[in-house]
């Protein structure tokens, strides 16, 4: 079965703190894609990253970084020096037969 688990329902941090959002996935496929999306209060989904199963190299984009560990089936997302504008719901997703299966989402609140 394909499944994505985001165990953290809500996280609250103070601005400038680092925060890591966890994502654990299950799949029997050897080729798969993992994603992170940001959903601000307005509702639209903002694409953050796509990673395929053959590329375990960690990625950094500005204050964002992602740690992909196939051995533990995890694809964690870290925001460094968080800002109030980072407040949103973040979804991890697994692409399976062309469609996305989303985790439950983690609500991140960054307080000034």
Partner 1 sequence: GAVVSQHPSRVICKSGTSVKIECRSLDFQATTMFWYRQFPKQSLMLMATSNEGSKATYEQGVEKDKFLINHASLTLSTLTVTSAHPEDSSFYICSAREMAQAGGLGNSPLHFGNGTRLTVT
- Residue placing its CB nearer to partner 1 in the complex, 71 or 97: 97
Tell me the closest approach of the beta carbon of residue 18 to partner 1, in angstroms: 25
Torsion of CA 42, 45, 48, 49, to 10 degrees: 170
Tell me the closest approach of the beta carbon of residue 15 to partner 1, in angstroms: 24
In the complex, which residues of this chain contact partner 1 (CB under 8 A)?
31-33, 42-45, 47, 52, 91, 95, 97-105, 107
- Residue placing its CB nearer to partner 1 in the complex, 24 or 80: 24
- C-alpha closest to that of 104 among 28, 20, 22: 22
- Residue placing its CB nearer to partner 1 in the complex, 79 or 89: 89
- C-alpha closest to that of 4 among 89, 103, 106, 77: 103
Q: How far apart are alpha carbons 24 and 30 in whole angstroms?
A: 16
Tell me the closest approach of the beta carbon of residue 14 to partner 1, in angstroms: 23
- Residue placing its CB nearer to partner 1 in the complex, 20 or 52: 52
> Taking the alpha carbons of 94, 100, 103, 108 in that order, is the dihedral positive or negative?
positive
Tell me the closest approach of the beta carbon of residue 56 to partner 1, in angstroms: 17
């Amino acid at each position: 079965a394909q499944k994505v688990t985001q165990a953290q329902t809500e996280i609250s941090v103070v601005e400038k703190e680092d925060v890591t959002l966890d994502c654990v996935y299950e799949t029997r496929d050897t080729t798969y894609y993992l994603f992170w999306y940001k959903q601000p209060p307005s509702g639209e989904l903002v694409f953050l990253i796509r990673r395929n199963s053959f590329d375990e190299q960690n990625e950094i984009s500005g204050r964002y970084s992602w740690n992909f560990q196939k051995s533990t089936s995890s694809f964690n997302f870290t925001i460094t020096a968080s800002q109030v504008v980072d407040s949103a719901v973040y979804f991890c997703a697994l692409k399976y037969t062309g469609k996305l299966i989303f985790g439950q989402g983690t609500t991140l609140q960054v307080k000034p």
